[in-house]
Structure 1
Amino acid sequence: MNLTGNTFFVITVVLVVIAVLLPLLLWSRVRGPALARGASRLFMVLFAQATAVLVVFVSVNNANGLYDSWGDLLGTSDHVESALDLGPTGTGGKQISSLPRVVQEFEKVRDPSLGGGLLKTRLKGAVSGVQGEVYVWLPPQYGDPAYANKKFPVVEVLSGFPGSSKNWFRTLHFQDRVQPLIESGRVAPFIVVSPRTMLGDKDTGYANIPGKVNADSWLTVDVRKMVADNFRVSLSPENWAIAGYSAGAHGAAKLALQHPDRYSAAVSLSGYNDPAAEKGSLTAKDPKLRLENDVLHILKSAKTPPRVSLLATGEGPDGYGPGLALQRVAKPPTVVHLKATKGGHVTPVWSRQLPYAFEWLTQQMRPRV
């Protein structure tokens, strides 16, 4: 039985009803020695508490997309086949364009809660050693004969931790927020790609950690190459942007600044610079890894300012402050834009930012789309 969805949630609600009725019907009818009666009544109380906690957890999980499966929740999912040392480029010294062509089969997603137009595939990353699902949303123009010879721009979207690759469509309501703007021409006809980012029971920091996980190469090499091989997409950085919220915002800013040869723009919704801001992050445990994956350090230590436009949103120290720190040290051609928000570190706030974020991306990439 799936962790998410209506079936399991209905079962938890039924259990709560049973837990409430049990003491009402049986409390005074319990028979036997005092110890047995006490144990029976204690069981009813604990059962009621446990079911109440369970239904709250399932409600929160379904609303926020924290855990997509039992394996994610229990830490038993294994999406990492190998984690070789791929060097500073994350490709093992190979050119991305020279890697073998990746041909994937896609299925249409028939889940009303995710909106329409979604495709799904399961990718085995030839470079990263990671395997997982990748969702692809195609704009209405993709099937239009007038666009038959056109290559489309791409936005790769990252969820927070814990988080599901479905979140941008289920909890942020991307289609409701942005598709009307694409249809009206206010937003460019972006292809939106949402790969799995939860690759274990610890936050990977969206980094390559030899011997543990190559999350960076999964997202910036394997996923990008697969999309370019299966859709009308160029691998040129001018046609790629990356966006994320919370931990995914940290990942989006970090990966774009580390790989200006792969992305030209990034959106950070309530992001942070220091990996240690996310408790349990694998990159925060080692001082060297922590520094190498600190977004502010990456920008300050770059030999050549990366040709990347970054939008940072948030409230106070939650997103806006880290973005302001980046803006203060950014040198052309790096550009950092800021947008203050209100409402806290929650999904509805990020969802409301999507129209502005995608209009901003359209402006940054307009000469190239």
Structure 2
Amino acid sequence: MGLTSNKVLALAVLLAVLLFVGTIWLWPRLARRSWKAITGRVGLLIATQVAIFASVGLSANQAFGFYATWADLFGQETAPGVVVDHDPAKGTGPVKVVDTQTVNVPGGSRPATGGQIQKVEISGKRSDIASPAYVYLPPEYFQPQYKNRKFPAAVVLTGYPGTAQALIKGLHYPQTAHKQAADGKMQPMILVMMRPTVAPPRDTECVDIPGGPQTETFFAKDLPGAVADHYRVGVKPQNWGAIGDSTGGYCALKLAMHHPEAYAAGAGLSAYYKAPLDVTTGDLFHGDKDLQRRADLLWYLDHKPAPKTSLLVTSSKKGEDNYGDTQKFIDKVKPPTRVSSITLDSGGHNFNTWRREIPAALKWMGGRLSED
């Protein structure tokens, strides 16, 4: 059974309940001062607390999508991205569909009503990176009257060490996009949902690491073209945007700022503005000071020409550590860059806060992208 399985969570909760009841039931028998009784009391308390801790941990992981598998949890997911060569003569390309699933909306079993989510593998020619993703196709994509229409697309990125599944199960991006479009609040849009960690377990912060994973190249140069080769999406900057939370938000802003020729808009939910250096990232820059400065978005606004792109930043007056830096970021933006913001009175660095921001952020994104 998988780490995110409901059966695993149910078994952990059942075990915790049984151990709690067993502790209450057996406690009078273990009330003596013998070493056996003391060992029994300690064992029951430890077992009960471990079971409760496991239940809470599994529940939190399902809600926030920190780890996708047991191997991911225990740090055994160490294989780097692998290049997959595709032969155009055989009808394959840089995007390979490996599974499909319905969208959790009324009528979701019919693609023309609920849209569809496709699990894919995306290969990058320039970056030599292959990464999984989930692609949400809106209902209009399957309707005959739109068969010749190209749709705008947004890359949706998780935080670190989040999973792409969390964008569907925890943050409800497909459901929200479906409702927003059905209510006429945004245009139908394709969502390419991914984790920014293309070389797990390393946190590459969407940086082209010298001698390492070329993550920025993958997202800026490989991804839009690969998706456009497979789906009805344009390759002009006005066809593409990026949105993400935390690390994914930092990456989304960076992609729009560094690559306005590829992305017309970038939205950072609870984003930070400078690539960290810690045990999860390792040495990202290998002494390249210019690369390190470019990864600091506040520095970039001060020292580089203002890109022609649109940016959205979000924060909370209480509960978010990025509030001060977000205000600095807004103040530093110069034309032709455009900036918008969402500021909550309170809200932490968590899914509940981002779910409150996503509808407005998707509406903002849809207003800055076009189908052609």
Corresponding residue for 1:207? 207
How far apart, in 1, do the equivalents of 2:156 and 2:322 lie? 17
Which residue identity does 1:118 align to in structure 2?
I
Q: Deviation per CA, 1:114-139, whole angstroms, max 9, x where unpaired?
A: x7621111334443343332100011
Structure 2 distance, partners of 1:81, 1:172, is 26
Matches for 1:11-90 after TM superposition, within 5 Å: 11-29=11-29, 34-81=34-81
- Amino acid aligned to 1:143: F
Mapping 1:136-215, distance limit 5 Å: 136-198=135-197, 199-215=199-215
Q: Evaluate the alpha carbon distance shift between residue 159 and residue 56 of structure 1 in structure 2; reply closer, same or farther with a 3 A threshold.
A: same
Q: What does residue 292 of structure 1 align with?
A: 294
Q: Mark the CA change 1:337 to 1:44 in structure 2 (over 3 Å): closer, same or farther.
A: same
**Structure 1 match to 2:111:** none
The change in CA–CA distance for 1:125 and 1:327 in structure 2 (over 3 A counts) is same
TM-score by length of 2: 0.84
For the residues of structure 2 that align with 1:336 and 1:324, how far apart are their CA atoms?
Answer: 11
Report the alpha carbon displacement of residue 276 of structure 1 after superposing the two structures with TM: 3.0
Counterpart contact for 1:207–1:215, Cα < 8 Å: yes
Greater Cα offset, 196-205 or 240-249: 196-205
**Residue number among 317, 324, 327 corresponding to 1:324 in the alignment:** 327
- 1:104-115 matches, within 5 Å, as 104-109=96-101
Q: 1:235 corresponds to which letter in structure 2?
A: V
For residues 311-336 of structure 1, the C-alpha deviation after alignment (integer angstroms, 9 at most, x for no partner) is: 11112464443333233222222111
1:197 counterpart letter in structure 2: P
| 2:341 corresponding residue in structure 1 | 338
> How far has the Cα of 1:36 moved from its partner?
3.6
Q: Which moved more, 1:272-281 or 1:174-183?
A: 272-281
Matches within 5 A, 1:161-310: 161-198=160-197, 199-276=199-276, 280-282=280-282, 288=289, 290-302=292-304, 304-310=305-311
Separation (CA, whole Å) in 2 of partners of 1:295 and 1:283:
19
Q: Distance in 2 between matches of 1:226 and 1:283?
A: 29
Q: Is the 8 A contact 1:80 1:131 kept in 2?
A: no
Tell me how far 1:279 sits from its aligned partner: 7.9
Matching residue's letter, 2:44: M
Contact 1:326 1:336 in 2 (8 A): no
User: Which residues of structure 1 form unaligned runs of 5+?
Assistant: 84-99
| CA deviation vs aligned residue, 1:213-240 (integer Å, no higher than 9, x gap) | 3322332333323211110112211100
Distance 1:354 1:31, change over 3 A: closer
1:315 and 2:313 matched? no
Q: Distance in 1 between matches of 2:56 and 2:4?
A: 13
**Structure 1 residue 349 corresponds to structure 2 residue 339:** no
The aligned residue for residue 120 of structure 2 is 121
Amino acid at match of 1:46: I
Q: Distance in 1 between matches of 2:279 and 2:187?
A: 36
- Whether contact under 8 Å (2:104, 2:175) holds in the other structure is no
SS in 2 for 1:341: strand
CA positional deviation for 1:283: 6.3
Secondary structure at the aligned position of 2:336 is classed as coil
- Structure 2: which amino acid aligns with 1:326? F
- Give the Å deviation of 1:353: 1.5
Unaligned segments of structure 2, at least 5 residues: 84-91, 109-113
Residue-pair matches, total: 350
Alignment TM-score, normalising by the size of structure 1: 0.85
Instruction: Return the letter of the residue paired with 1:356.
Output: A
Distance 1:73 1:143 in 2: 37
Change (3 A) 1:283 1:364: farther
Change (3 A) 1:160 1:134: same
Residue 251 of structure 2 aligns to which amino acid in structure 1? G
The 1:142–1:296 alpha-carbon spacing in structure 2 relative to 1, beyond 3 Å, is: same
* Matching residue within 88, 102, 111 for 2:94: 102
Question: Share of identical aligned residues, percent?
Answer: 30
- Give the stretch that moved more between structures: 242-251 or 320-329: 320-329
Work out whether residues 153 and 191 of structure 1, in 8 Å CA contact, stay in contact via their aligned partners in 2: yes
Deviation at 1:24, TM superposition (A): 3.1
Amino acid at match of 1:325: K
Q: CA separation in 2, counterparts of 1:219 and 1:270?
A: 20
- The C-alpha deviation readout for 1:167-210, integer Å capped at 9, x for no partner, is 22211122343312212432111100012323323422121213
Supply the RMSD in Å over aligned alpha carbons. 2.9
1:243–1:233 Cα change, 3 Å = same
Is this contact kept in 2: 1:320–1:339, CA < 8 A?
no
SS in 2 for 1:275: coil
SS of aligned partner of 1:208? coil
Whether the 8 Å contact between 1:270 and 1:314 is mirrored in structure 2 is yes
Structure 2: distance between partners of 1:127 and 1:216: 11
